[in-house]
Amino acid sequence: MYNAIGMVELSSIARGVYIADQMIKAAAVEPVSCTAVCPGKYIVLIQGDVAAVENAVRVGMTAAGEYIVDQFVIPNIHPAIFPAISSTTIPDTKAALGIMESFSMASMIFAADAALKAAEIQGIELRLGTGLGGKAFFTFTGNVAAVGAAVEAGRELVKESGLLVDIEIIPSPSERLWDSLL
């Protein structure tokens, strides 16, 4: 199991594809998502052990030049982040619903990691930029108290960046809403 995640965000799609190749060749990392996102940016999201991810991100940053928008490495990432990014999580139970939204993909990954570590919740989806005008959101479920604790942990990280859009808690979502989310 991988324990670190890293991302390089670029303002050029062409340079982004090139950077993805350079990062994957530079270290023993696996791509999580190498894709164009709104509004015309490209993200290279990788996973691996901490040293490999740090090395790959360093290589990406060096090659990015003037096209760099943002970058990060998160060691000891919560393992539920990976299925949430790929939207492959079906929660065991449908309880309270938490939704966090940010103008920043990077800050939303940090907030989702903090939320998952702070409370007993299940991530549902961590959407990054695609079809969102560059924004990101994280949906998750758990009992009302856990969702509240997770929201507070995530809010603090996104609030610091100044890129928080909104956070909502729905204590008892409609079954029809759940059908549309899953």
pLDDT for 36 beyond 80: yes
Q: For position 162, what pLDDT does the model report? A: 77
Burial class of 132 by CB neighbour count within 10 A (0 to 12, 13 to 18, 19+): middle
The strand ranges marked E within 80-154 are 96-102, 122-128, 136-142
Q: What is the mean pLDDT of residues 17-38?
A: 94
Q: For position 146, what pLDDT does the model report? A: 97
Which comes out higher in pLDDT, residue 90 or 124?
124
| DSSP helix/strand/coil, 36 | strand
The strand ranges marked E within 38-118 are 41-48, 68-75, 96-102
Instruction: Say how many CA atoms lie within 13 Å of 80 toward its Cβ.
Output: 22
Question: For the chain, which residues make up each domain, given as ranges?
Answer: 4-75, 81-181
| pLDDT, tens only, 92-145 | 889 999 999 998 888 899 999 999 999 999 999 999 888 888 889 999 999 999
Helices then strands, each counted (H, E), the chain: 6, 8
Least Cα distance to 173 among 144, 145, 151 occurs for 144
| pLDDT, tens only, 39-85 | 889 999 999 999 999 999 999 999 999 999 888 999 999 989 988 88
CATH number for the segment(s) 81-181: 3.30.70.1710
Q: Per the structure block, which two tokens stand in for 157?
A: 């990280």
Q: For position 85, what pLDDT does the model report? A: 85
Q: For position 27, what pLDDT does the model report? A: 95
CA distance 65 to 61: 7
CA 22 to mean position of chain CA atoms: 22
Q: For position 147, what pLDDT does the model report? A: 97
Please list the residues that pair with 72 across neighbouring strands.
7
* Same fold flag, 4-75 and 81-181: yes
pLDDT for 170 beyond 90: yes
CB 126 within 8 A of CB 107: no
pLDDT for 1 beyond 70: no
State the pLDDT confidence band at 149, using cuts at 50, 70 and 90.
very high
CA distance 173 to 162: 29
Please list the residues that pair with 142 across neighbouring strands.
96
Q: For position 77, what pLDDT does the model report? A: 92
Q: What is the mean pLDDT of residues 154-164?
A: 82
Q: Which CATH class is domain 4-75?
A: alpha beta
CA distance 106 to 131: 16
Q: What is the DSSP letter of 38?
A: T
